[in-house]
Chains A and B, each alone.
Chain A
């Protein structure tokens, strides 16, 4: 079996376990859908940045829910498995380091993509927003976002001694990244100094590309004008570049902090 086949096989195990472990199921699968569902059904009144506020928030939610399956729960999984010697045991078999780590990340990504599909269905069928304008761009942003948070989860797990500690350790990062991004509020509503800072934080490009890809309007710039297919990708290019830089940073952090041996003993 090559690395990819091994990773896919291990991802299948992780998917089974997410649905079998009650805490993981609630944290990674149920909670993000409940939050998004609650926001959608309560309806956020009024308009934001030229569109109904609900559409703005729901497209933000698509990026926001990355923090559940691919960050908080994944950091917990990596940590508890390391402490229970599962990672080391697997490493003693034919699976490579890359396959073991990306297997769990792939499982988490599958959960996340499933949630994105549910949100898309909710928006187009129930909220009448219509189908996503640019599925490939939406998918690319989702995958890059999942890669960024999975790598960050590896770094956090290396610094935590139990699965629970790892989940707690993700919270300040989550607050910073979600607070520092246009998930809920348009950047136009913030003071200029803060806006400039937020533009460079990793959640911003993910949210902006996904919102632009779904609605077909330019949410990367301030214009919000309708964009054609080529224009969308053109507008997204700088954001994709920024995201690539953040993925490289997260990879370096993962390399520096992730560990295979338990912290205890």
Chain B
């Protein structure tokens, strides 16, 4: 993942670019050589465990702190040194709300509207926040999810070209999360470039055109959902037939199976990572069926699936454990 950003940028319209970004706090290096690019109009999701370095990466891109080393560019500018030029074009939603709890919803929106040159109207903002009936309510009386939604709307009140969302749906119930997803999709449709961090793999699957998994300050996996998941193989699984001893299971494509227990029953899983992505599952099943026919067994609960983002995530975290 050390491609030169400028090389990639040829013919591509990059809204966000980081090259070999490193961020050190005293002895601790929170970000260790991250390179990533986000194209204009794209939603890029940054996944990772707590402490993986996502928020630090975001804060450097948002211009809160200069990079210890490496380069970062947002809309072609250094976000730390060109803060003033960038701030009208960039929206930021932090992991914590930072709202003034004694103001009403309408007053809060009013303040942010006044700070921006060409803001969305009060009514539109209330509508986007789903708080049209709460305009006169003090912010402290809103639920956690409502505050999060209000905060999201504050970050897009100035119609930013680039939007940073740090865990935008944390603390929301499933209903509110769905509503927020559709708001985010709407923003993408409007042409906003979005860099989003999340704990929810589902969120990345639903929203992201590309994503990366960070762990211990590095990007471990990056690409479109299809690429990321495809790189981690297909899964072929079935119940272990009772009459078959474990050590007589065949090798498929040269690989031995893994066995796990599901509801007290041993389940055999082959991970097929070699060969052409489109045909490898089929190619693996041919010798498997031949073997089953030869032994006269039926493969119960036979399932073929591609790897899920969860598989990828766990394998990234496990690799380094």
Contact = CB atoms under 8 A, between A and B. Distances in A.
Q: Do A and B bind each other?
A: yes
Interface in A71-123: 81, 84-96
Contact of A17 (B88, B96, B98, B100): B100
Contact of A94 (B96, B99, B158): B158
A21 B158 contact: no
Contact of B103 (A13, A89, A90, A260): A13
A39 to B, nearest CB: 32
Interface in B77-98: 84, 87-88, 92-94, 96-98
Contact of B98 (A89, A94, A95): A89
Nearest to A260: B64
Interface stretch (B13-21, B112-120, B125-133, B277-285): B112-120
B98 A88 contact: yes
A16 interface: yes
Contacts of A20: 102
Nearest to B95: A85
B100 A1 contact: no
Contacts of A6: 115
Contacts of B155: 92
Given A6-B115, A16-B107, A85 B102 contact: no
A259 interface: no
A93 B94 contact: no
Contacts of A91: 64
A195 interface: no
Q: Which of under 10, 10 to 19, 20 to 34, or 35 or more describes the interface residues of B? A: 20 to 34
Given A13-B100, A17-B102, A20-B102, A88 B87 contact: no
Contacts of B293: none
A88 B103 contact: no
Contacts of A10: 111
B62 interface: yes
A93 B115 contact: yes
A96 B151 CA distance: 19
A219 B158 CA distance: 53
Contact of B84 (A17, A87, A88, A96): A96
A9 interface: yes
Q: Which of under 10, 10 to 19, 20 to 34, or 35 or more describes the interface residues of A? A: 20 to 34
A94 B116 contact: yes
Given A17-B102, A21-B102, A9 B94 contact: no
A88 to B, nearest CB: 6
A16 B112 CA distance: 15
Contacts of A9: 111, 114-115
Contacts of B97: 85, 89
Interface in A182-232: none
Given A1-B115, A9-B114, A92 B103 contact: no
Output the residue of A6, A87, A90 with the most chain B CB within 10 A: A90
B115 A88 contact: no
Contacts of A81: 100
Contacts of A90: 98
Interface string A1-20: 10000100110010011001
Contacts of B112: 93
Contacts of B151: 89
A88 B94 contact: yes
Contact of B114 (A1, A21, A86): A1
A244 to B, nearest CB: 28
A32 B203 CA distance: 53
A89 B107 contact: no
Contacts of A1: 114-117
A91 B115 CA distance: 11
Contacts of B115: 1, 6, 9, 93-95
Given A6-B115, A17-B103, A88-B64, A93 B92 contact: yes
A89 B99 contact: yes
A1 B155 CA distance: 17
A81 to B, nearest CB: 8
Nearest to A261: B64
A16 B103 contact: yes
Given A93-B92, A94-B87, A94-B88, A84 B114 contact: no
A1 B118 CA distance: 10
9 contacts: A13-B103, A85-B96, A86-B98, A89-B94, A90-B98, A91-B64, A93-B116, A94-B115, A96-B84
Interface of A: 1, 6, 9-10, 13, 16-17, 20-21, 81, 84-96, 260
Given A92-B62, A92-B64, 13 more contacts: A1-B117, A9-B111, A21-B102, A81-B100, A85-B94, A86-B99, A86-B100, A89-B94, A89-B99, A89-B151, A93-B112, A93-B158, A94-B88
Interface of B: 62, 64, 84, 87-88, 92-94, 96-103, 107, 111-112, 114-117, 151, 154-155, 158
- The 10 residue pairs across chains A and B that have the minimum distance between CB atoms: A89-B98, A85-B98, A92-B92, A85-B96, A86-B98, A20-B102, A94-B87, A94-B115, A9-B114, A17-B102
